[in-house]
Structure 1
Amino acid sequence: MRVLTTGLGWNELQPGGLNRYYVDYNQALKQYGHSEFGLVVAEQNAELQTSLNITNAAGSGIWSRIRAVRHHTVKAVESFRPDVFNPHFALYASMVSRNSLPSHIPIVTHFHGPWALESKMEEGGKPRIVREARYLIKKQVEQVTYRRSDRFIVLSEYFRDILSNNYGIDHSKIHIIPGAVEHERFTPHPDRPALRAKLGIAPGQKLLFCARRIVRRMGIDRLIDAMQTVVREHPGSRLYIAGDGPMRSEYEQQIVRLGLSANVRMLGRVSNEELVEWYQAADYSIVPTITLEGFGLVTIESMACGTPVFGTPYGGTNEILRQVSSDLLFEDGTAEAMSGKLISALNGRLTLPTREACREHVLQRYTWSSVAGAVTDVFREAQEIRRKGVASR
């Protein structure tokens, strides 16, 4: 099957959950036997280092990028002759109208989250009337894109409900196919003590790790607050936070203000290789997201490396961790709930899954081969719906 996909950005240049998913997803389609052709928006003149059939539809501004994606999509329809159109980001697919595609080609949209609502939450410093106006415009753009879709794929029950309740999409059109992890790369380290020594972690020292985009809704500030209490009881414990974003400077100041500089460190953007090492070395990973956590790729990446994950009981994080152990879920998203749970874990008062059990859980549920098979079934269903629709005209 020839699958034409459109994404957001290129993960090597713009790290993020959607972008990483998009790269691994296209690789999985290729390995499954599909012919893939993808479009992403990266920096102008940037060369994408990949063996995948993916083009950079760059533009100098937002509307230029949208037009570039449409231009390349129309060209791909003529040259690549896709069997399925599979967009992953509503804004960049918004100008690819139903008339841009032959009537027999279904549109199967991946819903990675409510872009308008996420943007509204990240614009907290703007006047309310401005945020509301921008939100409504962005939501209209999303709805235009979704209105023309034949079927949808979401990564969790949580996102299925948002897609249905916020955008009016019927449940019968939505398929839940959880994300997956590149389990041959995200794997336990053969010599954790040596790795921890390399990273500067002393023997017996407790290492907590958090990998997140540094934006307000990720709850990083609450986790930093929680470390005040954790450090009082476990002064040798360390928290390392990987990632970058608009709130980084504010959170670095928070660490200094709370006197946590010796115990909490923000690493900034780390390479894929470094990310794996931090997962492998950590005693626990933490996912403190307050809201709009559609799946939580970092959760299964950490567990694939053998490291248990503590997370807030919301969205996709809740759906993943509740299958492993309820002890891995904070009672809520407050700093008090986080510190209480972490102290209990560091004191050995919780019965947590072993490192082997964490990895096995991922291997049984979150592999790319199973994702590719399930996605293919959705593609075939959408094709059949299109065939019937065309035949009935």
Structure 2
Amino acid sequence: MRIGIVCPYSWDVPGGVQFHIRDLAEYLLKLGHEVSVLAPADEDTELPAYVQSAGRAIPVPYNGSVARLSFGFLSAARVRRWIHDGNFEVLHVHEPGTPSLSLLACWAASGPIVATFHTANPRSRAMLAGAPIVASAMEKINARIAVSEYARRTLVEHMGGDAVVIPNGVDVGFFSALEPRPEWQTPADRQQDGGTIGFVGRFGEPRKGLSVLLEALPAIVAARPRTRLLVAGRGDEDEVLRNVPGHIREHVEFLGMVSDEDKGRLFQSVDVYCAPNTGGESFGIILVEAMSGRAPVLASDLDAFSLVLEGGAAGAMFPNGDAAALAREALALLGDPARRSALRDAESEAVRKYDWSVVAGDILSVYEMVTESTARVTAENGGTR
């Protein structure tokens, strides 16, 4: 099948949507499909062979983050040319309600369109204000996918219509097969009064919640004085540590941006993986990755996180934004190896439904449904759509 996938966000600034599109494209390529991805990207960005750049993106504040989008006459022309040259059997656009390439692709396309909605924001003024603008594009979409029930609810409330829920995918085998890095593990002589906590994310964004974890760290260190926090991701380290007491800073180690392999090794190495996010999460792909890497997970009780952690059966949770509760739960996990082992076993079961072998199969079923339906309608109309 010839499949075109449109990414609305800049490829050179990785995020959950970009990772989802990358992994989906690569899995479909392994299955023998022809796949082309169109995405914004700077000229000097090294792109995979299957990705075509639509030009540079413009940063726009959105949903507690900064979305880098591409819109305008030049972008529209590039979208039309890519669609024409690709002659796709199905076009899969992501976040078509966002003023970027996916919306332009919906306006330009004439064949079957599948759309995936990632955003979960029940009070989005931007989506409410933009709904009339994107209405004509939404009418052309043949099938809608939401990555979670909360993303589906946001779609229904802001744009109408409905969607089938298909979660984000993860290569579970990739993360489960990696080996830990000894320097990131807790040494034997520190297991009684220490431990290693991991955090991965763009820690410069307040909604990722690192400030909540750092607020909890003094209480954790007071009870287990040889505890350390490993932070991987992008952000201003000095700014993050500005309000952290000096004696606590030595317990925090910044790893910078890490590869997928090292991210997986981090999950395999830590005693607890903490996701203190405060909002704006539609799914929780980082939790699934951590669970695939057999890291006992401690997360804020966001609805999306609770769904992934099966209400607490596959991970510990604490009230969103409550640093004292985070500290209590972290100490309970660090002091209970048997519970951590039980969580690892529960996680191994819980992540199976998120493996790409399952998720990509469900997405392909949607592709086949819309292409067959479109072909049938075309035939009934005498060869015109």
**TM-score under structure 1 normalisation?**
0.81
Q: 2 CA distance for matches of 1:313 and 1:389?
A: 45
1:252 alignment partner AA: L
Q: Secondary structure at the match of 2:4?
A: strand
Q: Per the alignment, do residues 355 and 218 of structure 1 end up closer, same or farther by CA in structure 2, a change over 3 Å counting? A: same
Matches within 5 A, 1:285-304: 285-304=273-292
Q: Per the alignment, do residues 189 and 312 of structure 1 end up closer, same or farther by CA in structure 2, a change over 3 Å counting? A: same
Q: 2 CA distance for matches of 1:64 and 1:345?
A: 44
Q: Which residue of structure 2 lines up, in the alignment, with residue 53 of structure 1?
A: 50
Q: 1 CA distance for matches of 2:228 and 2:255?
A: 13
Deviations 1:167-197 (A, max 9, x none): 22x23xx01111121233312544x4xx223
Contact kept in structure 2, 1:46 and 1:56, CA below 8 Å:
no
> 2:213 matched to 1:218?
no
Q: Which residue of structure 2 lines up, in the alignment, with residue 180 of structure 1?
A: 169
How far has the Cα of 1:138 moved from its partner? 5.6
Contact kept in structure 2, 1:4 and 1:36, CA below 8 Å:
yes
Q: 2 CA distance for matches of 1:285 and 1:77?
A: 42
Q: Secondary structure at the match of 1:239?
A: strand
Runs of at least 5 residues in structure 1 that lack an aligned partner in the other structure: 119-131
Q: Which residue of structure 2 lines up, in the alignment, with residue 93 of structure 1?
A: 102
Greater shift after overlay, 352-361 or 221-230? 352-361
Contact kept in structure 1, 2:314 and 2:343, CA below 8 Å:
no
Greater shift after overlay, 21-30 or 60-69? 60-69
Q: 2 CA distance for matches of 1:38 and 1:117?
A: 31
Q: Per the alignment, do residues 354 and 146 of structure 1 end up closer, same or farther by CA in structure 2, a change over 3 Å counting? A: same
How far has the Cα of 1:223 moved from its partner? 1.4
Matches within 5 A, 1:253-292: 253-255=242-244, 257=245, 259-292=247-280
1:253 alignment partner AA: R
Matches within 5 A, 1:123-272: 145-168=137-160, 170-171=161-162, 174-190=163-179, 192=180, 195-197=181-183, 199=184, 201-203=186-188, 204=191, 205-214=194-203, 215-245=205-235, 249-255=238-244, 257=245, 259-272=247-260
How far has the Cα of 1:249 moved from its partner? 4.6
Q: Per the alignment, do residues 179 and 8 of structure 1 end up closer, same or farther by CA in structure 2, a change over 3 Å counting? A: same
Q: 2 CA distance for matches of 1:324 and 1:272?
A: 26
Contact kept in structure 2, 1:175 and 1:378, CA below 8 Å:
no
Write 1 or 2 for the structure with the bigger share of strand: 2
Matches within 5 A, 1:309-388: 309-322=297-310, 325=313, 328-348=316-336, 351-352=339-340, 353-362=342-351, 364-387=352-375
Counting aligned pairs with the same residue, the percent is 23
Q: 1 CA distance for matches of 2:57 and 2:165?
A: 35
Q: Secondary structure at the match of 2:3?
A: strand
Q: Which residue of structure 1 lines up, in the alignment, with residue 43 of structure 2?
A: 44
How far has the Cα of 1:387 moved from its partner? 4.3
Runs of at least 5 residues in structure 2 that lack an aligned partner in the other structure: 60-68
1:309 alignment partner AA: V
Deviations 1:345-385 (A, max 9, x none): 122298342535433432x2111121111001112222344
Q: 1 CA distance for matches of 2:122 and 2:130?
A: 5
Q: Per the alignment, do residues 61 and 292 of structure 1 end up closer, same or farther by CA in structure 2, a change over 3 Å counting? A: closer
Alignment root-mean-square deviation, CA? 3.0
Matches within 5 A, 1:96-115: 96-98=105-107, 100-102=108-110, 105-113=111-119
How far has the Cα of 1:272 moved from its partner? 2.3
Q: Secondary structure at the match of 2:243?
A: helix
2:187 alignment partner AA: A
**TM-score under structure 2 normalisation?**
0.83
Q: Which residue of structure 2 lines up, in the alignment, with residue 125 of structure 1?
A: none
Contact kept in structure 1, 2:175 and 2:292, CA below 8 Å:
yes
Contact kept in structure 2, 1:344 and 1:350, CA below 8 Å:
no
Q: 1 CA distance for matches of 2:55 and 2:211?
A: 34
Contact kept in structure 2, 1:302 and 1:309, CA below 8 Å:
yes
Contact kept in structure 2, 1:287 and 1:310, CA below 8 Å:
yes
Matches within 5 A, 1:25-40: 25-40=24-39
Contact kept in structure 2, 1:151 and 1:378, CA below 8 Å:
yes
Q: Per the alignment, do residues 254 and 147 of structure 1 end up closer, same or farther by CA in structure 2, a change over 3 Å counting? A: farther
Contact kept in structure 2, 1:32 and 1:372, CA below 8 Å:
no
